Structure 1
Amino acid sequence: MTTLRLRPEGPADADPVRRVLAGAFARAGVPVPPEVGLVDELRDSDAWIPELAMVAEYGGEVVGYALLTRVRVDPGQFPALALGPVAVAPHRQRIGLGVSVVQAALEAATELGERLVVVLGDPAYYRRFGFDRADRMGLSSPWSGLGEPWQALVLPPTLSGEVGVPRGEVVFPPPWSRV
Protein backbone atom coordinates (compact mmCIF):
# COMPACT_ATOMS: atom_id res chain seq x y z
CA MET A 1 0.00 0.00 0.00
CA THR A 2 1.34 3.43 -0.97
CA THR A 3 1.39 5.88 1.91
CA LEU A 4 0.99 9.63 2.00
CA ARG A 5 3.35 11.57 4.23
CA LEU A 6 2.82 15.29 4.89
CA ARG A 7 5.79 17.16 6.34
CA PRO A 8 7.69 20.44 6.25
CA GLU A 9 10.05 20.87 3.33
CA GLY A 10 13.64 19.88 4.10
CA PRO A 11 16.92 20.98 2.46
CA ALA A 12 16.93 17.97 0.12
CA ASP A 13 13.45 18.84 -1.16
CA ALA A 14 14.30 22.00 -3.14
CA ASP A 15 14.84 20.22 -6.47
CA PRO A 16 11.83 17.88 -6.13
CA VAL A 17 9.67 20.90 -5.22
CA ARG A 18 10.94 22.74 -8.31
CA ARG A 19 9.94 19.73 -10.45
CA VAL A 20 6.46 19.62 -8.91
CA LEU A 21 5.97 23.36 -9.48
CA ALA A 22 7.32 23.19 -13.05
CA GLY A 23 4.99 20.32 -13.91
CA ALA A 24 1.92 21.75 -12.23
CA PHE A 25 2.31 25.25 -13.70
CA ALA A 26 3.67 24.27 -17.14
CA ARG A 27 2.49 26.57 -19.93
CA ALA A 28 3.27 26.48 -23.62
CA GLY A 29 6.12 28.81 -24.51
CA VAL A 30 7.21 29.30 -20.89
CA PRO A 31 10.34 27.22 -20.18
CA VAL A 32 10.26 27.82 -16.42
CA PRO A 33 6.99 28.92 -14.81
CA PRO A 34 7.32 32.02 -12.59
CA GLU A 35 6.06 30.04 -9.59
CA VAL A 36 9.38 28.14 -9.53
CA GLY A 37 11.37 31.37 -9.20
CA LEU A 38 8.87 32.75 -6.68
CA VAL A 39 9.46 29.86 -4.28
CA ASP A 40 13.24 30.07 -4.74
CA GLU A 41 13.18 33.80 -3.96
CA LEU A 42 10.83 33.39 -0.99
CA ARG A 43 13.19 30.75 0.49
CA ASP A 44 15.88 33.43 0.60
CA SER A 45 13.66 36.12 2.12
CA ASP A 46 12.45 37.18 5.56
CA ALA A 47 8.99 35.96 4.53
CA TRP A 48 10.09 32.29 4.69
CA ILE A 49 8.81 30.22 7.63
CA PRO A 50 10.38 26.73 7.32
CA GLU A 51 7.61 24.97 9.26
CA LEU A 52 5.01 26.28 6.81
CA ALA A 53 6.50 25.00 3.55
CA MET A 54 4.69 21.66 3.31
CA VAL A 55 5.36 18.77 0.98
CA ALA A 56 3.22 15.75 0.18
CA GLU A 57 5.31 12.65 -0.24
CA TYR A 58 3.50 9.76 -1.90
CA GLY A 59 5.29 6.45 -2.20
CA GLY A 60 8.55 8.17 -1.25
CA GLU A 61 8.24 10.77 -4.02
CA VAL A 62 7.56 14.50 -3.42
CA VAL A 63 4.39 15.07 -5.43
CA GLY A 64 2.64 17.99 -3.71
CA TYR A 65 3.46 21.36 -2.23
CA ALA A 66 1.73 24.15 -0.29
CA LEU A 67 3.59 27.24 0.87
CA LEU A 68 2.60 29.80 3.50
CA THR A 69 4.83 32.87 3.76
CA ARG A 70 4.75 36.04 5.83
CA VAL A 71 2.81 39.08 4.68
CA ARG A 72 1.69 42.11 6.71
CA VAL A 73 -1.55 44.03 6.97
CA ASP A 74 -1.21 47.81 7.15
CA PRO A 75 -1.83 49.89 9.08
CA GLY A 76 -0.09 48.37 12.05
CA GLN A 77 2.07 45.73 10.37
CA PHE A 78 -0.22 42.92 11.61
CA PRO A 79 1.44 39.59 10.71
CA ALA A 80 -0.49 37.37 8.32
CA LEU A 81 0.28 34.60 5.83
CA ALA A 82 -0.08 34.20 2.08
CA LEU A 83 -0.92 30.74 0.74
CA GLY A 84 0.73 29.89 -2.54
CA PRO A 85 1.86 28.44 -4.65
CA VAL A 86 -0.02 25.19 -4.18
CA ALA A 87 0.93 22.44 -6.63
CA VAL A 88 0.56 18.73 -7.28
CA ALA A 89 2.60 16.82 -9.86
CA PRO A 90 0.45 16.21 -12.95
CA HIS A 91 0.64 12.41 -12.64
CA ARG A 92 -0.79 12.59 -9.07
CA GLN A 93 -3.54 15.18 -9.51
CA ARG A 94 -7.21 14.60 -8.74
CA ILE A 95 -6.67 12.13 -5.87
CA GLY A 96 -6.86 14.61 -2.97
CA LEU A 97 -3.17 15.38 -2.48
CA GLY A 98 -3.67 19.12 -2.95
CA VAL A 99 -6.38 19.22 -0.29
CA SER A 100 -4.20 17.18 2.06
CA VAL A 101 -1.11 19.35 1.73
CA VAL A 102 -3.08 22.62 2.06
CA GLN A 103 -4.86 21.30 5.16
CA ALA A 104 -1.50 20.27 6.67
CA ALA A 105 -0.08 23.75 6.05
CA LEU A 106 -3.13 25.46 7.60
CA GLU A 107 -3.00 23.17 10.63
CA ALA A 108 0.71 23.92 11.10
CA ALA A 109 -0.05 27.66 10.90
CA THR A 110 -2.78 27.31 13.52
CA GLU A 111 -0.40 25.45 15.82
CA LEU A 112 2.10 28.31 15.46
CA GLY A 113 -0.59 30.77 16.57
CA GLU A 114 -1.11 32.43 13.19
CA ARG A 115 -4.46 34.16 12.73
CA LEU A 116 -4.94 35.18 9.11
CA VAL A 117 -4.21 33.61 5.70
CA VAL A 118 -4.84 35.20 2.30
CA VAL A 119 -4.87 33.50 -1.09
CA LEU A 120 -5.51 34.33 -4.71
CA GLY A 121 -7.19 31.34 -6.31
CA ASP A 122 -10.28 29.45 -7.36
CA PRO A 123 -13.07 30.24 -4.87
CA ALA A 124 -14.73 26.85 -5.42
CA TYR A 125 -11.50 25.10 -4.41
CA TYR A 126 -10.49 27.26 -1.44
CA ARG A 127 -14.00 27.55 0.01
CA ARG A 128 -13.65 23.96 1.32
CA PHE A 129 -10.99 25.24 3.75
CA GLY A 130 -13.14 28.14 4.93
CA PHE A 131 -11.77 30.93 2.74
CA ASP A 132 -14.13 33.76 1.83
CA ARG A 133 -13.84 37.00 -0.12
CA ALA A 134 -11.10 39.12 1.45
CA ASP A 135 -12.81 42.38 0.53
CA ARG A 136 -15.71 41.40 2.81
CA MET A 137 -13.17 41.30 5.66
CA GLY A 138 -11.83 44.74 4.79
CA LEU A 139 -8.63 43.43 3.22
CA SER A 140 -7.18 44.82 0.02
CA SER A 141 -4.13 44.01 -2.11
CA PRO A 142 -2.81 44.49 -5.64
CA TRP A 143 -5.20 41.65 -6.59
CA SER A 144 -8.34 43.06 -4.95
CA GLY A 145 -9.75 44.05 -8.33
CA LEU A 146 -10.07 40.38 -9.27
CA GLY A 147 -13.01 40.04 -6.86
CA GLU A 148 -13.87 36.53 -5.66
CA PRO A 149 -10.40 34.95 -6.23
CA TRP A 150 -8.92 37.35 -3.62
CA GLN A 151 -9.76 35.46 -0.41
CA ALA A 152 -8.93 35.26 3.28
CA LEU A 153 -9.30 32.80 6.12
CA VAL A 154 -9.30 33.58 9.84
CA LEU A 155 -7.64 30.66 11.64
CA PRO A 156 -8.98 29.34 14.94
CA PRO A 157 -7.42 30.99 17.98
CA THR A 158 -4.83 29.11 19.97
CA LEU A 159 -5.02 28.63 23.71
CA SER A 160 -3.32 31.99 24.15
CA GLY A 161 -6.63 33.67 23.30
CA GLU A 162 -8.49 35.50 20.60
CA VAL A 163 -6.70 38.24 18.72
CA GLY A 164 -8.68 40.53 16.45
CA VAL A 165 -8.09 40.48 12.72
CA PRO A 166 -7.18 43.80 11.12
CA ARG A 167 -8.58 45.58 8.13
CA GLY A 168 -6.29 47.20 5.61
CA GLU A 169 -3.84 46.65 2.78
CA VAL A 170 -2.06 43.29 2.65
CA VAL A 171 1.60 43.99 1.88
CA PHE A 172 3.46 41.18 0.11
CA PRO A 173 7.24 40.71 0.11
CA PRO A 174 9.08 41.81 -3.08
CA PRO A 175 9.25 38.36 -4.75
CA TRP A 176 5.47 38.39 -5.15
CA SER A 177 5.62 41.51 -7.37
CA ARG A 178 7.28 39.47 -10.13
CA VAL A 179 4.48 36.91 -10.48
Structure 2
Amino acid sequence: MPYEIRLERPDDVAVIGKVTTAAFAVAEHSSGTEAAIVVALRAAGALTVSLVAAVDGEVVGHVAFSPVTLDGADLGWYGLGPVSVRPDLHGRGIGAALIRAGLERLGALGAKGCVVLGDPAYYPRFGFRQDPAIQYEGVPPEYFMALSLDGSKAAGQVAYHSGFAAT
Protein backbone atom coordinates (compact mmCIF):
# COMPACT_ATOMS: atom_id res chain seq x y z
CA MET A 1 0.00 0.00 0.00
CA PRO A 2 1.65 3.26 -1.08
CA TYR A 3 1.63 6.15 1.37
CA GLU A 4 3.06 9.64 1.42
CA ILE A 5 4.90 11.21 4.38
CA ARG A 6 4.50 14.98 4.54
CA LEU A 7 4.31 17.93 6.92
CA GLU A 8 0.99 18.40 8.67
CA ARG A 9 -1.32 21.03 7.15
CA PRO A 10 -4.05 23.03 8.90
CA ASP A 11 -6.77 20.90 7.31
CA ASP A 12 -5.16 17.76 8.84
CA VAL A 13 -5.65 18.83 12.47
CA ALA A 14 -9.06 17.23 13.11
CA VAL A 15 -8.18 13.91 11.51
CA ILE A 16 -4.83 13.80 13.36
CA GLY A 17 -6.83 13.94 16.58
CA LYS A 18 -9.09 11.11 15.43
CA VAL A 19 -6.21 8.92 14.27
CA THR A 20 -4.31 9.54 17.52
CA THR A 21 -7.34 8.72 19.66
CA ALA A 22 -8.06 5.54 17.70
CA ALA A 23 -4.42 4.40 17.74
CA PHE A 24 -4.04 4.83 21.48
CA ALA A 25 -7.42 3.30 22.27
CA VAL A 26 -5.81 -0.07 21.47
CA ALA A 27 -2.40 0.70 23.02
CA GLU A 28 -1.34 -1.26 26.08
CA HIS A 29 0.26 1.69 27.92
CA SER A 30 -1.91 4.69 27.09
CA SER A 31 -2.96 7.62 29.23
CA GLY A 32 -5.84 8.38 26.86
CA THR A 33 -4.53 11.95 26.63
CA GLU A 34 -2.31 11.60 23.56
CA ALA A 35 -4.59 13.56 21.20
CA ALA A 36 -4.88 16.35 23.81
CA ILE A 37 -1.08 16.41 24.10
CA VAL A 38 -0.72 16.99 20.35
CA VAL A 39 -3.33 19.79 20.52
CA ALA A 40 -1.53 21.41 23.47
CA LEU A 41 1.88 21.17 21.79
CA ARG A 42 0.47 22.69 18.59
CA ALA A 43 -1.24 25.52 20.52
CA ALA A 44 2.03 26.30 22.33
CA GLY A 45 4.02 26.37 19.08
CA ALA A 46 6.02 23.40 20.38
CA LEU A 47 5.46 20.94 17.52
CA THR A 48 8.95 21.26 16.09
CA VAL A 49 8.24 18.45 13.61
CA SER A 50 4.72 17.23 12.88
CA LEU A 51 4.42 14.75 10.03
CA VAL A 52 1.50 12.77 8.67
CA ALA A 53 1.26 9.64 6.60
CA ALA A 54 -1.44 9.77 3.94
CA VAL A 55 -2.93 7.04 1.77
CA ASP A 56 -4.78 8.34 -1.27
CA GLY A 57 -4.83 11.77 0.38
CA GLU A 58 -6.34 10.48 3.65
CA VAL A 59 -4.30 10.94 6.84
CA VAL A 60 -3.69 7.53 8.46
CA GLY A 61 -0.75 8.30 10.76
CA HIS A 62 1.02 11.08 12.63
CA VAL A 63 4.25 11.69 14.51
CA ALA A 64 5.18 14.61 16.75
CA PHE A 65 8.57 15.84 17.94
CA SER A 66 8.81 18.59 20.56
CA PRO A 67 11.62 20.19 22.59
CA VAL A 68 12.79 18.68 25.88
CA THR A 69 15.15 20.05 28.49
CA LEU A 70 17.96 18.28 30.33
CA ASP A 71 18.40 19.50 33.89
CA GLY A 72 16.29 22.51 32.92
CA ALA A 73 18.47 23.55 29.99
CA ASP A 74 17.62 23.57 26.28
CA LEU A 75 20.47 21.56 24.78
CA GLY A 76 18.91 21.06 21.35
CA TRP A 77 17.24 17.77 22.26
CA TYR A 78 13.72 16.70 21.37
CA GLY A 79 11.16 14.14 22.40
CA LEU A 80 9.52 11.74 19.96
CA GLY A 81 5.83 11.23 20.50
CA PRO A 82 3.10 10.68 20.30
CA VAL A 83 3.31 8.54 17.18
CA SER A 84 0.09 7.04 15.93
CA VAL A 85 -1.21 4.95 13.04
CA ARG A 86 -4.81 4.01 12.37
CA PRO A 87 -5.31 0.60 14.05
CA ASP A 88 -6.40 -1.21 10.87
CA LEU A 89 -3.04 -0.27 9.32
CA HIS A 90 -0.73 -1.35 12.16
CA GLY A 91 2.20 -3.55 11.17
CA ARG A 92 2.65 -2.08 7.69
CA GLY A 93 5.69 0.09 8.39
CA ILE A 94 3.83 3.40 8.43
CA GLY A 95 4.84 4.29 11.99
CA ALA A 96 8.46 3.37 11.27
CA ALA A 97 8.46 5.54 8.15
CA LEU A 98 7.04 8.48 10.12
CA ILE A 99 9.71 8.08 12.82
CA ARG A 100 12.56 7.82 10.30
CA ALA A 101 11.34 10.86 8.35
CA GLY A 102 10.93 12.84 11.56
CA LEU A 103 14.41 11.97 12.82
CA GLU A 104 15.85 12.95 9.44
CA ARG A 105 14.03 16.30 9.59
CA LEU A 106 15.24 16.89 13.17
CA GLY A 107 18.80 16.23 12.05
CA ALA A 108 18.39 18.68 9.18
CA LEU A 109 17.20 21.29 11.68
CA GLY A 110 20.42 20.84 13.66
CA ALA A 111 18.93 18.92 16.57
CA LYS A 112 21.51 17.35 18.87
CA GLY A 113 19.41 14.35 19.89
CA CYS A 114 16.08 12.78 20.62
CA VAL A 115 14.53 10.83 23.48
CA VAL A 116 11.58 8.46 23.52
CA LEU A 117 9.50 6.83 26.20
CA GLY A 118 8.37 3.58 24.65
CA ASP A 119 8.71 -0.11 23.94
CA PRO A 120 12.34 -1.27 24.35
CA ALA A 121 11.67 -3.98 21.75
CA TYR A 122 10.61 -1.43 19.10
CA TYR A 123 12.68 1.76 19.29
CA PRO A 124 16.23 0.33 19.11
CA ARG A 125 15.67 -0.30 15.38
CA PHE A 126 15.94 3.47 14.94
CA GLY A 127 19.13 3.71 17.00
CA PHE A 128 17.57 4.55 20.37
CA ARG A 129 19.37 3.07 23.37
CA GLN A 130 18.96 3.25 27.11
CA ASP A 131 21.58 5.70 28.39
CA PRO A 132 22.07 5.94 32.17
CA ALA A 133 23.32 9.52 31.76
CA ILE A 134 19.94 10.64 30.36
CA GLN A 135 17.13 9.98 32.78
CA TYR A 136 13.37 10.36 33.04
CA GLU A 137 11.90 10.05 36.49
CA GLY A 138 9.15 7.63 37.33
CA VAL A 139 9.54 5.01 34.60
CA PRO A 140 11.58 1.83 34.37
CA PRO A 141 14.87 2.90 32.73
CA GLU A 142 14.64 0.35 29.91
CA TYR A 143 11.55 2.20 28.57
CA PHE A 144 13.35 5.54 28.27
CA MET A 145 15.84 5.71 25.41
CA ALA A 146 18.00 8.33 23.73
CA LEU A 147 19.54 8.84 20.31
CA SER A 148 22.34 11.32 19.63
CA LEU A 149 21.79 12.84 16.19
CA ASP A 150 25.15 14.59 15.98
CA GLY A 151 27.42 12.19 17.87
CA SER A 152 27.59 14.37 20.97
CA LYS A 153 26.88 13.16 24.50
CA ALA A 154 24.26 14.63 26.78
CA ALA A 155 23.37 14.04 30.40
CA GLY A 156 20.67 15.04 32.79
CA GLN A 157 17.10 14.67 33.91
CA VAL A 158 14.72 15.07 30.95
CA ALA A 159 11.60 17.20 31.15
CA TYR A 160 9.03 17.20 28.36
CA HIS A 161 7.15 20.32 27.28
CA SER A 162 4.26 21.30 29.57
CA GLY A 163 1.87 20.26 26.76
CA PHE A 164 2.42 16.68 27.94
CA ALA A 165 0.33 17.52 31.02
CA ALA A 166 -2.75 18.04 28.81
CA THR A 167 -5.85 16.00 29.60
1:31-42 matches, within 5 Å, as 33-42=32-41
1:1-179 matches, within 5 Å, as 2-26=1-25, 33-49=32-48, 52-74=49-71, 76-135=73-132, 138-143=133-138, 145-155=139-149, 157=150, 164-178=152-166
Code of the residue aligned with 1:44 in structure 2: it is A
Task: Determine what percentage of the aligned residue pairs are the same residue.
Answer: 33
> Residue 59 of structure 1: CA displacement?
1.9
Q: Which runs of 5+ in 2 are unaligned?
A: none
The DSSP-based 3-state class of the residue aligned with 2:121 is: helix
* Mapped partners of 2:74, 2:63: distance in 1: 24
TM (norm. structure 2) is 0.89
> Residue 98 of structure 1: CA displacement?
0.7
* Mapped partners of 1:17, 1:75: distance in 2: 30
Q: Structure 1 stretches (4+) deviating beyond 6 angstroms? A: none
> Residue 111 of structure 1: CA displacement?
0.9
Q: Which runs of 5+ in 1 are unaligned?
A: none
The DSSP-based 3-state class of the residue aligned with 1:47 is: coil
> Residue 33 of structure 1: CA displacement?
2.6
The DSSP-based 3-state class of the residue aligned with 1:114 is: coil
Code of the residue aligned with 1:176 in structure 2: it is F
> Residue 76 of structure 1: CA displacement?
4.0
Contact 2:130 2:146 in 1 (8 A): yes
Instruction: Return the index of the structure with the highest Cα Rg.
Output: 1
